[in-house]
Every structure is written in structure tokens, then in C-alpha cells.
């Protein structure tokens, strides 16, 4: 437990010591809100689909969470390159505990980032259906963050190139985001697109956040939660195995 706490606390300190990184990470969500939320809002409303900003906000919150979560794998490559990871692993603690602490820290910081985006969306005009749903959405965001933090760590154990990591991350994460129904309703797409969305793990995270914040969803909350938790456990096991075998 001590190793888990130390790694979790270290990730939080890294997050807190980077105010410029926190502010900069709000730039992309703000761009999406302005370019899509306000740019396409009237088109969306004219099509009889309601308030687009209310539809978009949960998806942008999910986007912020997954990008921050997956990017935490970059910290692993950084620590590996500069020797901090080696110093950590020579301590008499299990690698699984170190790995779990890193995943927990990454998921906590990305959930905080998602909460900041949610506050930003409320400032811009988004209104949750029920304010208690905001608290529930934080819990849902943490589940989603845990899933992608485990994925980021798994990716980090398989790479040594800090320059290549962002390219691979964008190659994987951007399609997941755009196919998840974060920016368009899934009930109005072709059958093939809907199939792709249903095999996208992010779809269930976005759908769960949208259900909690707006009351609208494609699947049940139980389905969203079950898929997210099941995939989190699978990726956590894969990350633990890869981390245990990783050559320093």
C-alpha cells in the first residue's frame, strides 16, 4: 500500500506543479466548444436534435479525460529514460504495486482535468439535467480514466521513444474519440458506423457521462458501467504483465 500511495502522490504533485500544462490542456476543449458547440449549434437545433452544447459537453469531458490519461504513459517513458524508474524498482516493493500506483495517479489527475472541462462547459452555457449528476459524472469519469490510464501505461511499457509516443497515442485515441458518438448522435448514422461505435470502448464511457449529465443515452447505465469496468480490469492485467516483464 505504501508504494501505491507514493506513486499516486507523485503523479498528483507532477500535475499540481504544472499550471501551464493544466491551462494549456483546456485549449483543445475550448476550441471544440467554440468551433462545434457554437458553430454547429443552430444546425443541430434546426435538425430537431435539441441543444448541441448539452449534447457535446459530456463528449468533450470524456475527450479531456482520455487524452490526459493516455498521456500519463509518457511519464513512464520519461522516468525510464532518466533513471527514476530504476531507482523506484530497486526498492523492496512489488512491481505490481508501483504499476497500480501510477495508474491510480494518472486516473486521478485526468479526472480532475475532466472536472475542469465540465466547469468550463457550465460557464459556456451547459446545464446538467440534475446537479447531483455532476457528482455521479465525476465517478463515471474516474472509471473511464482508469481504463485509459491502464492503456497508457501498457503503451508506455512497450515504447522507449518519447517523440514517437504522442504520434502513436494520437493514431489510436483520435479515432476512438470520433467514433464514440461524442460529437454526433449514434442513432442517426449508418449501420457500419454504428457497429464501429459499438466496438469502441470510449462509446460506453461517453454514453455513461451523457446519461448522468443530461439523461439521454443509447445504452443503459449498467451496460456502460459493466463494459468500462470489464475493459479496465483486462487492460490492468495486461499492463501489470507488461510492466513486470519490462526491461529497464
pLDDT of residue 169: 80
**CA gap 248, 225 in Å, rounded:** 35
- The answer to whether the predicted template modeling score (pTM) of the entire model surpasses 0.75 is yes
Question: For residue 110, how many C-alpha atoms fall within 13 Å in the half-sphere facing its CB?
Answer: 32
Q: Residue 174 CB: number of other CB atoms within 10 A?
A: 12
pLDDT of residue 147: 93
pLDDT tens profile 152-182: 989 888 887 777 888 888 888 889 999 998 8
Cα–Cα distance list, 62 to 83, 90, 92, 159, 243 (Å)? 33, 36, 37, 25, 26
**CA gap 191, 197 in Å, rounded:** 10
- Within the chain, residue ranges assigned H as helices are 2-16, 19-24, 27-32, 41-46, 52-82, 84-89, 95-124, 132-157, 164-178, 191-198, 201-214, 221-245
Q: Residue 229 CB: number of other CB atoms within 10 A?
A: 14
Q: Could you say which residues of the chain have pLDDT below 50?
A: none
25, 113 contact by CB (below 8 A): yes
Provide the CA 82 distance to its chain's centre, in angstroms: 26
SS (H, E, C) 88-154: HHCCCCCHHHHHHHHHHHHHHHHHHHHHHHHHHHHHHCCCCCCCHHHHHHHHHHHHHHHHHHHHHHH
pLDDT of residue 4: 67
Q: Which domain holds residue 18?
A: 2-245
pLDDT of residue 227: 95
pLDDT of residue 205: 94
3-state secondary structure of 200: coil
pLDDT of residue 38: 78
56 burial type by CB count under 10 A (0-12 exposed, 13-18 middle, 19+ buried): buried
Rg (alpha carbons) of the chain, rounded to whole number: 18
pLDDT tens profile 80-92: 777 677 666 666 6
**CA gap 81, 132 in Å, rounded:** 44
What's the domain count of the chain?
1
70, 171 contact by CB (below 8 A): no
pLDDT of residue 94: 76
Amino acid at each position: 500500500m505504501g508504494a501505491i500511495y507514493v506513486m499516486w502522490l507523485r503523479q498528483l504533485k507532477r500535475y499540481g506543479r504544472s499550471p501551464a500544462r493544466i491551462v494549456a490542456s483546456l485549449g483543445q476543449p475550448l476550441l471544440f466548444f467554440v468551433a462545434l458547440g457554437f458553430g454547429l449549434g443552430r444546425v443541430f437545433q434546426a435538425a430537431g436534435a435539441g441543444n448541441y452544447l448539452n449534447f457535446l459537453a459530456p463528449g468533450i469531458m470524456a475527450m479531456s479525460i482520455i487524452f490526459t490519461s493516455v498521456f500519463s504513459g509518457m511519464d513512464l517513458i520519461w522516468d525510464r529514460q532518466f533513471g527514476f524508474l530504476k531507482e523506484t524498482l530497486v526498492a523492496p516493493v512489488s512491481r505490481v504495486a508501483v504499476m497500480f500506483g501510477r495508474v491510480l495517479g494518472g486516473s486521478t489527475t485526468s479526472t480532475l482535468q475532466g472536472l475542469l472541462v465540465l466547469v468550463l462547459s457550465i460557464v459556456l452555457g451547459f446545464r446538467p439535467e440534475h446537479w447531483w449528476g455532476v457528482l455521479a459524472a465525476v465517478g463515471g469519469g474516474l472509471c473511464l480514466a482508469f481504463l485509459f490510464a491502464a492503456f497508457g501505461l501498457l503503451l508506455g511499457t512497450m515504447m522507449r521513444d518519447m517523440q514517437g509516443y504522442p504520434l502513436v497515442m494520437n493514431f489510436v485515441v483520435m479515432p476512438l474519440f470520433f467514433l464514440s458518438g461524442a460529437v454526433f448522435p449514434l442513432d442517426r448514422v449508418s449501420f457500419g458506423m454504428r457497429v464501429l461505435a459499438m466496438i469502441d470502448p470510449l462509446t460506453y464511457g461517453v454514453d455513461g457521462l451523457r446519461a448522468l449529465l443530461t439523461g439521454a443515452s443509447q445504452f443503459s447505465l449498467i451496460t456502460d458501467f459493466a463494459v468500462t469496468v470489464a475493459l479496465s480490469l483486462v487492460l490492468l492485467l495486461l499492463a501489470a504483465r507488461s510492466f513486470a516483464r519490462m526491461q529497464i
